[in-house]
Chains A and B, each alone.
Chain A
Amino acid sequence: GIQVEQSPPDLILQEGANSTLRCNFSDSVNNLQWFHQNPWGQLINLFYIPSGTKQNGRLSATTVATERYSLLYISSSQTTDSGVYFCAGAMKTSYDKVIFGPGTSLSVIP
């Protein structure tokens, strides 16, 4: 079955708005990460978050491993936040084999 799911698939925000992106993952996956792919294609790791909560500026992430989901919060969005946000998990049977979700495409408009 599907191992990493993300919602919503697309999101349009007015600059300054807040948003929450969700990632659901199967029990064969752990060690969640969040990535951002900017409109030029560059992939940047945002968080390594197997459990708990982390914050980095306007971004924060929470993973509830027992319920198999992770949330990425974007506050006071800026146009530079546009792009695709991926969550990814490692296969429990092969710790370095990373499975990516389909992504949430975010457009922040001024």
Chain B
Amino acid sequence: DAGVIQSPRHEVTEMGQEVTLRCKPISGHDYLFWYRQTMMRGLELLIYFNNNVPIDDSGMPEDRFSAKMPNASFSTLKIQPSEPRDSAVYFCASSLAALIAQETQYFGPGTRLLVL
């Protein structure tokens, strides 16, 4: 398997623009996670899905952020409108089953977002 695939790898945009980040989890994995990494706040869980259903989105910073998983092989994280403070590395991760079952999360390479 190719692992978790994220696109784009780098994104530079201007404040106010819409940004869409994409993720393809490992085939057969039931769980998908979106994380954000910044120097100030470290790694934060934004939202996670189980079988395409959002389970916990309490980490989503505000209404400008939304995430969808229309099918088992694709998820998007959208920021509209984007702001400079959204600049970060956004990681997608997937796992075969729940963490409680000792399943490992596999991380994608991340999308480095810069909002000017």
Contacts and interface: CB of A to CB of B under 8 A. Distances in A.
Contacts of B89: 41
A98 B45 contact: yes
Contact of B56 (A43, A45, A97, A101): A97
Interface residues of B, number: 26
Contact of B100 (A42, A88, A90): A90
A45 B99 contact: no
B70 interface: no
Given A41-B109, A86-B43, A103-B42, A97 B100 contact: no
B104 A98 contact: no
Contact of B91 (A43, A96, A101, A102): A43
B99 A96 contact: yes
Interface in B25-45: 31, 33, 42-45
A41 B105 contact: no
What 10 A-B pairs come out closest when comparing CB atoms?
A100-B43, A43-B107, A95-B100, A45-B104, A96-B99, A90-B99, A48-B102, A102-B42, A97-B56, A41-B110
A101 B41 CA distance: 10
A97 B109 contact: no
A79 B104 CA distance: 25
Nearest to A45: B104
A29 B22 CA distance: 30
B48 A97 contact: yes
A110 to B, nearest CB: 27
A33 B45 CA distance: 15
Interface of B: 31, 33, 42-45, 48, 50, 55-56, 58-59, 89, 91, 93, 98-100, 102, 104-107, 109-110, 112
A66 interface: no
A8 to B, nearest CB: 16
A3 to B, nearest CB: 12
A56 interface: no
A99 interface: yes
A96 B104 contact: no
B43 A97 contact: no
